[in-house]
Amino acid sequence: MIVTATPTPPAMVMPPTTAAAMTAFVLPRTTTMPSLAPPLVTSSVLTTSSTGALDKLAMSTSSISPHSILDNNDKADTPQFLRTDSLTSAGLVDPTSALVPLEKSLRYKMGLPMFQKVTPIASPQQQQTSRCRVVGHRGALYEHLENTREAFLKCAEWNCDAVELDVFRLDDGTLIVFHGAGNDRNPGQLKGYTIGKEAAEEKKIMDLKTFEETQQLQFNPNYAEFGCPSKEIVAARIPTLRQVLVDLKESAPTMEIKIELKGEGVTVPTLEMVDELDMVRQCSFSSFDHTKIAEVRKLHPETYADGSYVYRTGALYDSLPSDFVARAQSVGASEIHARYDTLSLQVVQDIHDAGMGSMGWIRGPVGMGSDISSKYLDAGKEEGSTLYSMLMETGVQQLCVNKPNIMMETRLQQQKQQDMIQMMAHVSTNSKMNSALALQQ
């Protein structure tokens, strides 16, 4: 079968983590594929090290959509496969590149172009990519146990923009930072998450009466969701919200603390504690239970001069209903926090058009491992720069990730890449101006 690309694919910039050499590379107009190969789209990339190559990059005027490269014998409107190309050390397309069915392509699902346009003038989405804020999901959970003081302080050490944590209220009134097993409709379960009689009795964290009882809990070093070393799990203890807030107020006063409200009776005491510590500007409040967001807004409708809310809130979504923006607006949410694989160019644009902030959140280690290995075959071999770069292309303003240090590095490389393009464009422009002046003389 013959797969024909028309027009000639524009140049792309390879993510720094996969670039083998700074070599200009242009896809051939026609590529012959084995007879068994189905229709596909290529996602080849390139980099450049010369002003001449940059001029070629700048000649690109549009991105190639997934519909641009089709089997010329296929009458379907949409191709069925995407090819995840990589470059060899010689700068050539690796002939062993994997074929990814479109239903297993996260890039295709998010509506991202198969070929990213690269011009000397960065597009708004390219500019947003380098500004995307990094949020540590439950802290640095691959370094220390999730939702512990150590995990959050590690994020502060890395200069993350924000951390996300989960809060429950115990019967004695103590607010604790804890996640537990279970889901958002049945949160805080101890079975599997901890070991001991409480776990055997299938209790929840809310069943414990006092903070002292929580300090007797032993976390399960064999729990698959824990990404950190076993020694960190064994030594970990559940912290209070006050302890975490004081730690971060002192060590990272500019780092946002995104507090997810879980369980019953948690909203009012959490707001009171944040007020008491004078940390309203540093904290925001989110929940899958949107009645909690409405409760925050009812108690605190205050706005700044520009109309933005003083008490910032995020409406969390696991899946997006058709009216997700309207629902978030109806409870007075400041932001919409969508699961990473519900993001798309259109979803992010809809959020921003409504004057709201956007954040994508990553699932826990087990969920992400399953997604990447079987659901989205173009998202990299594990959660990391390939996935983060792809998500940033949507223009989302924040990403809540399990590996914030990797996300920080990815963002830095994206910024360096944009800086390089701008610098080369400046050099190319000056060279042309000098040549023109020389001709006039």
Q: Give the CA count within 13 Å in the CB-facing half-sphere of 400.
A: 29
Q: Which two tokens stand for residue 221?
A: 């070093």
Percent of the chain predicted with pLDDT > 70:
72
Which domain CATH number covers 304?
3.20.20.190
306 occurs within a structural domain: yes
Give the pLDDT score at 5: 42
For residue 399, the enclosing domain spans: 133-420
Question: Does the structure show a pLDDT above 60 at 390?
Answer: yes
Instruction: Specify the pTM.
Output: 0.77
Flag whether pLDDT at 51 surpasses 90. no
The pLDDT tens digits of the residues spanning 290-332 come to 999 999 999 999 999 999 999 999 999 999 999 999 999 999 9
> Does the pLDDT of residue 379 top 90, yes or no?
yes
Q: H or E segment at 152? A: helix 149-157
Closest CA to 325 of 356, 300, 362: 356
Cα of 126 vs its chain's centroid, Å: 15
pLDDT digits (tens, 9 = 90+) for 77-87: 455 666 554 43
Positive or negative CA dihedral for 331, 335, 337, 341? positive
Tokens 């720094």 locate to 16
Q: What pLDDT sits at residue 44?
A: 35
Identify the pLDDT of residue 284: 98
Question: What's the rounded mean pLDDT across residues 338-351?
Answer: 98
Torsion of CA 264, 267, 268, 270, to 10 degrees: 110
> Facing residues of 358 across strands?
336
* CA-based end-to-end distance of the chain: 56
Contact predicate 135/398, CB 8 Å: yes
Cα gap 161→207, rounded to integer Å: 34
Q: Is residue 85 part of a domain?
A: no
Angstrom CA distances, 270 to 213, 261, 274, 284, stand at: 21, 8, 6, 11
Provide the pairing of β-strand 398-401 with 256-261: unpaired
How many other CB atoms are found less than 10 A from the CB of residue 283?
22
- Closest by CA to 351, choosing from 104, 128, 127, is 128
The confidence score (pLDDT) of residue 82 equals: 60
Average pLDDT estimate for 194-214 = 91
Are the C-beta atoms of residues 171 and 237 closer than 8 Å to each other? no
How does DSSP classify residue 361? E
According to DSSP, the residues that pair with 3 across neighbouring strands are: 31, 71
* Residues 26 and 8 sit within 8 Å (Cβ to Cβ): yes
Percent of the chain whose pLDDT exceeds 90 = 63
Residue 303 DSSP code = B
State the Cα–Cα distance between residues 208 and 210, nearest whole angstrom: 6
- Is 185 within a domain? yes
What type of residue sits at position 327? R
Specify whether the CB–CB gap between 10 and 386 falls below 8 A: no
SS3 at position 38: coil
Q: For the chain, what percentages of helix, strand and coil (3-state, to nearest 5) are there?
A: 35, 20, 45
**Structural domain includes residue 164:** yes
Lowest mean pLDDT across 10-14, 59-63, 143-147, 270-274: 59-63
Rounded CA separation 114/43 (Å): 5
> How many structural domains comprise the chain?
1
Q: Does 65 map to a domain?
A: no
**Do 179 and 166 contact (CB within 8 A), yes or no?**
yes
Ordered DSSP codes for 86-146? -B-TTS-B-TTPEEEEGGG-HHHHTT--SS----SS--HHHHHHHHPEEEEETSSTTTS-T
The tokens of 379 are what? 């998202």
In-domain check, residue 193: yes
CB-based contacts of 32, cutoff 8 Å, min separation 6? 2, 3
Count of H helices and E strands in the chain?
15, 17
**Host H or E run for residue 436:** helix 404-440
CB neighbour list of residue 262: distance below 8 Å, 6 or more residues apart: 166, 167, 168, 187, 188, 287
CA 372 to chain centre: 14
Model confidence band, residue 98 (pLDDT cutoffs 50, 70, 90): low
State whether residue 53 is helix, strand or coil.
Answer: helix
Euclidean distance between CA atoms 413 and 407, whole angstroms: 10
- Of 387, 413, 409, 417, which Cα lies nearest the Cα of 110? 387
Does any domain span residue 36? Answer: no
Query: Residue 83: inside a domain, yes or no?
Result: no
